[in-house]
Amino acid sequence: MKKIGILGGTFSPIHNGHLYIAREAYTQLGLDEIWLMPVGIPPHKQQESSVTRYDRLSMCQLAVEGISYIRVREDEIHSDGANFTYQTLEYISEKYPEDSFYFILGEDSLRMFQSWVHPERIAAKATIVAALRSMDHEHKIRELKQLTQEYSSYYKSDFILLSTRFMDISSTRIRSFLSMPNQSTEKMEYLQNALPEGVRSYITEHHLYQMDGLEGLYDPKKEEKEMTYARIYKQIQKKLQKDLKPSRYQHTLGVAYTAASLAMTYGYPMETAYIAGLLHDCAKYMTPQELLKYCKNHKLPVTGSEKESPQLLHAKVGACKAKEDYGITREEILHAICYHTTGCPGMSLLDKIIFTADYIEPNRCEAPRLPEIRRTAFTNLDQAVSMILFDTIQYLKETGRSMDETTQETYEYYKKEVTL
């Protein structure tokens, strides 16, 4: 009987963070093997991007070359439909009835475990192993320990924690760096640290992720890959200047520059931050009626507070317009635009950058505590997010304006992260 760890995911691309988690699980739990199981077409995507499943598979194979305890399994990669985790686990445990399985997930996934499809069937087939990203927040460890105990008794199965050190590597950030045409030192350093060498060479050889998600702004035939970010910015700015009032356009530039500066501070690709900053208010010229009509036509859900104050919709509609009118399909940019007014629990680095830049850009002057928040933004971004949410909620309460539920939820989430 073998003890087998299962690490699933899109792996686009696989990086050293994945390999690190695999190694920790292998040693800490005394496993015999780790199976990497790249998914076929991810359930939330309808079609394959320019990087195909075969590219992802090849990169996984290159990444584990020379690591004897990791095997890349192709069970899921060929499937076109959504393969739910419970189906995969039932299938492999039937095929290998002698072995026991350890399903490895991240701490965010653990928190969401109950919303997975058939969590009880997942827990019945494997021990759930949650990789804790950092062990330095005592309250977080306590909370997660309690959660695993609750799950263990509820599902009558084992839920365990794996302590790992925080690694500042994410596939999203890797893709963002790779999409840049320039060869900055930050980019080279980040990629060197994040990717196994074989994967890096494969990406270079096959020109993967280049201009990913910005294809709408760029015609490879016409531009012969000569499109630079400077030209992309100009193209976006030209349209924005036509659509927005001059003061709004000035604000937009302020947000873009501030976002780029925050990106430089926190090691995020500044080009991506600049584009997201430029576009964050691209729907701000629309009237409440136009926003509501747009949502109706595009089947975008409208919450109670958005009905009350349709202006709130400019974020959601903005994300949609960035895609339709500006040809941006890069998920991280669209997400940051969508949540720039309310924030959301568990924001990405880019989400936090845009949210904060919108509040502190140089043309802003009316909010209280601005100098303090501006300083904090460049030293502790989570704390700045918390302060902005706190002040926004105070302001909305004092002026009797309606507040989106997400703002309160986000505040609750970030209040736990830092002390005000």
The one-letter amino acid at 412? E
Residue 178 CB, shortest distance to Fe ion, in Å, is 28
Residue 314 CB, shortest distance to Fe ion, in Å, is 6
Pick between residue 107 and residue 358 the one whose CB is nearest to Fe ion: 358
For the record, the structure tokens of 160 come out as 């365990």
Pick between residue 56 and residue 340 the one whose CB is nearest to Fe ion: 340
- Distances in whole angstroms, Cα of residue 82 to Cα of each of 39, 45, 108, 122, 308: 9, 10, 21, 16, 37
Pick between residue 81 and residue 246 the one whose CB is nearest to Fe ion: 246
Those residues with Cβ within 8 angstroms of residue 158's Cβ, 6 or more apart along the chain or in another chain: 127, 128, 152
Q: How many CB atoms lie within 10 A of CB 237?
A: 15
Pick between residue 271 and residue 358 the one whose CB is nearest to Fe ion: 358
Pick between residue 281 and residue 306 the one whose CB is nearest to Fe ion: 281
Taking the C-alpha atoms of residue 16 and residue 37, their distance in angstroms, rounded to an integer, is: 16
Residue 387 CB, shortest distance to Fe ion, in Å, is 17
Helix 349-360 vs helix 370-377: crossing angle, to nearest 10: 150
Residue 411 CB, shortest distance to Fe ion, in Å, is 18
Cα Rg for the chain, rounded, in angstroms? 23
Taking the C-alpha atoms of residue 97 and residue 99, their distance in angstroms, rounded to an integer, is: 6
Pick between residue 195 and residue 312 the one whose CB is nearest to Fe ion: 312
Taking the C-alpha atoms of residue 396 and residue 393, their distance in angstroms, rounded to an integer, is: 5
Taking the C-alpha atoms of residue 408 and residue 406, their distance in angstroms, rounded to an integer, is: 5
Pick between residue 212 and residue 358 the one whose CB is nearest to Fe ion: 358
Residue 283 CB, shortest distance to Fe ion, in Å, is 9
Residue 358 CB, shortest distance to Fe ion, in Å, is 4
Backbone dihedral angles phi then psi of residue 34, each to the nearest 5 degrees: -120, 130
- Distances in whole angstroms, Cα of residue 262 to Cα of each of 143, 170, 266, 351: 31, 18, 6, 12
Residues that bind Fe ion (CB under 5 A): 281, 358
Residue 341 CB, shortest distance to Fe ion, in Å, is 5
Helix 314-324 vs helix 331-338: crossing angle, to nearest 10: 150
Pick between residue 51 and residue 292 the one whose CB is nearest to Fe ion: 292
Contact 64, 72 (CB under 8 A): yes
Those residues with Cβ within 8 angstroms of residue 213's Cβ, 6 or more apart along the chain or in another chain: 179, 328, 329, 330, 331, 333
Residue 371 CB, shortest distance to Fe ion, in Å, is 20
Pick between residue 175 and residue 251 the one whose CB is nearest to Fe ion: 251
Residue 284 CB, shortest distance to Fe ion, in Å, is 6
